[in-house]
């Protein structure tokens, strides 16, 4: 798979799921960092249990889809009563179904704690595909084939920045 497939899967998931609060792409390491915020402090035990369950579910998914991820890790960061979940993935092997699984696991475990931008303006606007193409073009534009970028949502709008 190539970077474009992973970015396409990621942009689709980001635009469809208001639970995803930020996405960062490190072009040097070819790593995508996906962030989700919870409005609670998880205990170390709760966090480790979710990481373990998520890793097992994703490992099964990879076997079923015959995928061999180059890089995957999940980290929890607790800060002032909020927990940030960070999924790190390589862009070459990331697929949209994997993002759907990750969102499903998050909703199943943390539905009442997920911080989401519930403004439907983003979802309704971007599902027609043209705007999604514009976001992908903005990410891929420039002189280099690979870029660092940061995407986040705020009050129903999606912001894309090249760094």
pLDDT at residue 33, as a whole number: 87
Three-class HEC string of the chain? CCHHHHHHHHHHHHHHCCCEEEEEEECCCCEEEEEEEECCCCCHHHHHHHHHHHHHHHHHHHHHHCCCCCCEEEEEEEECCEEEEEEEEECCCCCHHHHHHHHHHHHHHHCCCECCCCCCHHHHHHCCCHHHHHHHHHHHCCCCCCCCEEEEEECCEEEEEEC
Tens digits of pLDDT across the chain (163 residues): 344 566 666 667 777 778 888 888 777 788 888 899 999 999 999 999 999 999 999 999 999 999 999 999 999 999 888 999 999 999 889 888 998 999 999 999 999 999 886 655 444 444 456 655 655 565 555 444 445 555 656 666 666 656 5
> Greatest CA span in the chain, whole angstroms?
46
Q: Where are the domains of the chain?
A: 3-162
This model's pTM is above 0.85: no
Q: Tokens in use for 66?
A: 């015959």
């Amino acid at each position: 798979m190539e970077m474009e497939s992973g970015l396409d899967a990621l942009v689709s998931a980001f635009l469809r799921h208001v639970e995803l609060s930020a996405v960062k792409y490190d072009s040097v390491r070819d790593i995508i960092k996906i962030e989700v915020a919870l409005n609670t402090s998880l205990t170390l035990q709760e966090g480790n249990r979710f990481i373990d369950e998520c890793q097992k579910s994703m490992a099964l998914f990879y076997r079923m889809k015959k995928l061999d991820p180059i890089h995957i890790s999940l980290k929890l960061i607790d800060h002032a009563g909020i927990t940030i979940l960070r999924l790190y993935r390589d862009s070459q092997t990331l697929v949209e179904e994997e993002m759907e699984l990750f969102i499903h696991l998050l909703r199943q475990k943390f539905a009442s704690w997920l911080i989401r931008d519930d403004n439907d303006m983003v979802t309704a606007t971007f599902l027609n595909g043209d705007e999604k193409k514009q976001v992908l073009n903005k990410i891929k534009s420039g002189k280099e084939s690979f870029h660092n970028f940061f995407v986040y949502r705020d009050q129903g709008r999606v912001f894309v920045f090249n760094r």
